[in-house]
Structure 1
Amino acid sequence: LKLNQPGVAGWLTQDALWLVSKTVTDKLRAYLLSQSIEGIPSSNIAVFDELQSHGLVESTPKGKAIWTAQVTQGDWQQTFTFLRLQPALIWGNEDRPENFSGTVSIAAHDNSTDTPVPTPAPETVRARSSQSQPQPDPMALEDADYLGTLLDMFGLEEPEGSHVPSESTDDTSTLPSDSPGQAFLNWVKEGILSHKLVINDSKAKIHTVGGTVLLVTPGLFQRYAQELPGVSQGSDQEIEEWRWVQKQFEKLKVHRKRDNGLNIWTCQVQGPRKKTILKGYLIEEPKLLFELMPLDNPFLKIEKD
């Protein structure tokens, strides 16, 4: 799909990829059918719901999959219904195209604020009137490999850090709900809900695999310690803060242990261009982090003991 010009079906801003809903969904359905995949809904609304339920598209403030927004570039303006995606889902660690030089403004009746595209000079974004009617979706699209980048969303990176965290066994003590370990888990859940923490992306530290959730170590714990410096204050342990946080998390006993009693699991990552591994904790009950569990990352496989 071409981007960022009149007559196309996608616009890339700093924080979102806006895809014209009907055009892209029709292309998506055609592609899936061409791959002999069964059970594809004939209704676009059902497809929207599926994409939304698996966290592939962002929801509006009202919880819907479809956004109405006006695209403006110079003297050209048009209003469309969009699916909104995180750019990292498409490009991963690859070079992103340049951002749209115009504006994408969320419609007033979407009960959300306008989203201007950042430009060097300040710019006033014109809010679309709630009385104006959406225009038809553009159909001038290339017959290209329009889902190639989507299927290649996991452009993989090497594991963060060369050292593997030391194995340890769980403390059997019972922890209060406001324990440091629970505070970390709450931070993870809130980060997932707000999209501050991405999942199943090439740089993500959270993945769904084997029907459970992998929390990548040390990366996720290091980020928590960086965002909350001094979190281990009051502790007499002379260790790095992220390791202290990790030990507090282990005390919750919400992770799955390996047959040999150790805590850290290894996942093989098979990507389009290279292989690597990720190490981390598997959450026994995914509902601790997700109200609706996303699909497994198809490129990850848990190593057996």
Structure 2
Amino acid sequence: MLSLFRRNKVLTLMASAPSGFTQPACAQALLALPRRQKLLGNIWQRASLSHRQFADLYQGPLNRYAELVQQLPASQNHHHAHPGGMLDHGLEIVAYALKIRQTYLLPIGAPPESQSAQAEAWTAAAAYGALIHDLGKIAVDLHVELEDGKTWHPWHGPIRSPYRFRYMKGRSYQLHGAAAALIYTQILTPDILDWLSGFPELWSQLIFVLSGHYEHAEILGEIVVKADQASVAQELGGNPARALAAPKQSLQRQLADGLRYLVRETYKLNQPDGPSDGWLTQDALWLVSKPIADQLRAYLLTQGIEGVPSSNAPFFNMLQDQGVVQTNDQDKAIWKATIDNACGWRNTFTLLKVAPALIWSDPNERPSVFSGTVQVQTASTLEQVSEDQTSADPVSAPAITVVPVPSHPPTPDETAALLALLTDSESKLPPGTEACTDASTQHIAKTGLGQEFMDWLKDGLASRRIIINDAKALVHTVSGTVMLVTPGIFKRYVQEFPTLEAQAKAQNLNAWQMVQRGFEKLKLHRKTGKSLNIWTCQVIGPRSTKQLRGYLLNDGLTALSEMPFDNPSLNLVTETAEDCA
């Protein structure tokens, strides 16, 4: 079957590239590696198309993608940072996206005959959104120079002459998602776009994905995000099966519990005479990077926790990926800062930044803050610390990064482990994704809309269909319980049960408001000090601050089988809680 993706004579990489440059290759040569061939075979199986249809809808875009990204990496020092990493990540995330898409009947809430008629289009849209989601990186993160000294941009088309590249200084992490909109037509032909534009709901979600607006991309955005998490977990030595099926917070909780134990029981903080394990300021806990990595790894291993990276670079990436540490303005886990105790001792360290609330849930338990200063360095050239460094000196990146053809592809065991996650084709449909029928509406009338909403919420959280504590999630954990973001979570419910719109119209209400009132009648939520229903949380990120408003459940276990720790990015603001508009 894999012969479908091979030519009888595969073109090989030319060896005549000048020193420091990489010779571009054709798609057949780039995709000829055994691991990539197996991924292509898996994609073909999940697409369930004839060879001719697959060639038009999948093989063609994948070929064009391969020739556009060539041997470029997917990141500088995070996931898939090796030569050809962008291509590997693209194939992996498409395979994962197709696997996840099989667990849904799309569009959600449509009649079965409509879902059947649109099935191929939604499957292709999931694959395209996944493939293109990081493509903007080659437009805004990398400077690619050709042999003749000219700069190459992806809108010029595939690279046709020897090239080399370097990462741009001061690049914005958020920009690449929007930049994909500049170049997706290099991958998707007018015929494909004409076809997809005939499905309005799909089309709007795909446009949001291609422009990086996942908060508006609904179920298609959710599929791409989950697939991306699985591919990143695979690359960083984690467990992609956990990213697909297990609660995202489970590994996060293990890491946080270990970190909490070490800081509270063994570390010396804010030592007045100089060196310490860390320093607590008003807004952050700063921990020396190498000792915390070594000791946290050892603690996790003593607890029987598997899959802990043995070297520090991927270990820091894991902490970053799980949201345990806060990232700097270059979206890296490692910060560099100068510590001055104001008494003659001063030194520079590489540090991890942790939210104090992650260690001490009660502010009264925190030690006194550091009386000296922590001066953070923000130079864009700061490199990720290696596992052999206790504190790193600034590393100046070379003007051009030479990218050789990878000589050591993943081992057969690694390939088999990845493919094993993608081979089970039978998946149960998550609860709540069936088309809403008159029978389901009658059931709601009998059991009560509020209780039906809670049953849907519990099923969605248990099946991982509703994500938690993510940047775009509608459910978070805060103050030891669950927060339901309003009105977003109620609007999401209505999207899956569209016949509620007719009932709401008869009551002169919006459908989501009707669901919200049904939930309030259950009296499962806490009131504020002013006896109001709605609480406000501040969301603090590395570059912005915003607010979320929602309900706090009396008992988080009403919705979850196990309570994760609080989202460290959320701060409950009780004094500004207001009623729902």
Question: TM-score with structure 1 length normalisation?
Answer: 0.53
SS in 2 for 1:281: strand
The offset of 1:288, in angstroms, is 0.9
Which deviates more, 28-37 or 295-304?
A: 28-37
The partner residue of 2:526 within 227, 241, 256 is 256
Contact kept, 8 Å, 2:534 with 2:550, in 1: the verdict is yes
The partner residue of 1:228 within 497, 514, 534 is 497
Does 1:187 pair with 2:459?
A: no
Q: CA 1:179 to 1:198, structure 2 compared with 1: closer, same or farther past 3 Å?
A: same
State how far apart, in whole Å, the 2-side matches of 1:187 and 1:255 are.
17
Deviations 1:94-115 (A, max 9, x none): xxxxxxxxx931169xxx7169
The partner residue of 1:79 within 413, 417, 424 is 413
State how far apart, in whole Å, the 1-side matches of 2:567 and 2:552 are.
14
Partner of 1:113: 424
**What residue ranges of structure 1 are gaps of 5+ in the alignment?**
51-55, 57-74, 83-102, 116-175
The offset of 1:278, in angstroms, is 0.1
State how far apart, in whole Å, the 1-side matches of 2:522 and 2:501 are.
16
Partner of 1:3: 80
SS in 2 for 1:268: strand
State how far apart, in whole Å, the 2-side matches of 1:224 and 1:113 are.
29
State how far apart, in whole Å, the 2-side matches of 1:251 and 1:278 are.
22
**What residue ranges of structure 2 are gaps of 5+ in the alignment?**
1-77, 98-226, 240-250, 259-287, 309-321, 323-408, 427-444, 576-581
1:104 alignment partner AA? L
1:47 alignment partner AA? I
Deviations 1:132-178 (A, max 9, x none): xxxxxxxxxxxxxxxxxxxxxxxxxxxxxxxxxxxxxxxxxxxx992
Does 1:104 pair with 2:418?
A: yes
Contact kept, 8 Å, 1:181 with 1:252, in 2: the verdict is yes
State how far apart, in whole Å, the 2-side matches of 1:297 and 1:179 are.
31
State how far apart, in whole Å, the 2-side matches of 1:254 and 1:37 are.
41
Contact kept, 8 Å, 1:33 with 1:40, in 2: the verdict is no
State how far apart, in whole Å, the 1-side matches of 2:507 and 2:307 are.
48
Question: TM-score with structure 2 length normalisation?
Answer: 0.29
Partner of 1:290: 560
Percent identity over the alignment is 35
Contact kept, 8 Å, 1:107 with 1:114, in 2: the verdict is no
2:305 alignment partner AA? V
* Aligned residue-pair number: 197
State how far apart, in whole Å, the 1-side matches of 2:290 and 2:563 are.
22
Contact kept, 8 Å, 1:256 with 1:283, in 2: the verdict is yes
State how far apart, in whole Å, the 2-side matches of 1:282 and 1:272 are.
25
Q: CA 1:297 to 1:42, structure 2 compared with 1: closer, same or farther past 3 Å?
A: closer
Map 1:18-97; keep pairs closer than 5 Å: 18=234, 19-21=236-238, 33-34=291-292, 41-43=299-301, 46-48=304-306, 78-80=412-414
Partner of 1:243: 513
Partner of 1:164: none
Q: CA 1:300 to 1:107, structure 2 compared with 1: closer, same or farther past 3 Å?
A: closer
Instruction: Note the aligned Cα RMSD (angstroms).
Output: 4.2
Higher fraction of helix:
2
Partner of 1:203: 472
State how far apart, in whole Å, the 2-side matches of 1:190 and 1:216 are.
17
State how far apart, in whole Å, the 2-side matches of 1:33 and 1:282 are.
38
Q: CA 1:7 to 1:239, structure 2 compared with 1: closer, same or farther past 3 Å?
A: closer
1:20 alignment partner AA? G
Contact kept, 8 Å, 1:106 with 1:114, in 2: the verdict is no
Deviations 1:178-200 (A, max 9, x none): 21101111111111111111111
Contact kept, 8 Å, 1:191 with 1:197, in 2: the verdict is yes
2:237 alignment partner AA? V
2:527 alignment partner AA? K
State how far apart, in whole Å, the 1-side matches of 2:519 and 2:486 are.
12
State how far apart, in whole Å, the 1-side matches of 2:411 and 2:458 are.
39
Partner of 1:274: 544
Partner of 2:574: 304
State how far apart, in whole Å, the 2-side matches of 1:254 and 1:225 are.
20
Higher fraction of strand:
1
Contact kept, 8 Å, 2:486 with 2:551, in 1: the verdict is yes
Contact kept, 8 Å, 2:501 with 2:510, in 1: the verdict is no
1:288 alignment partner AA? T
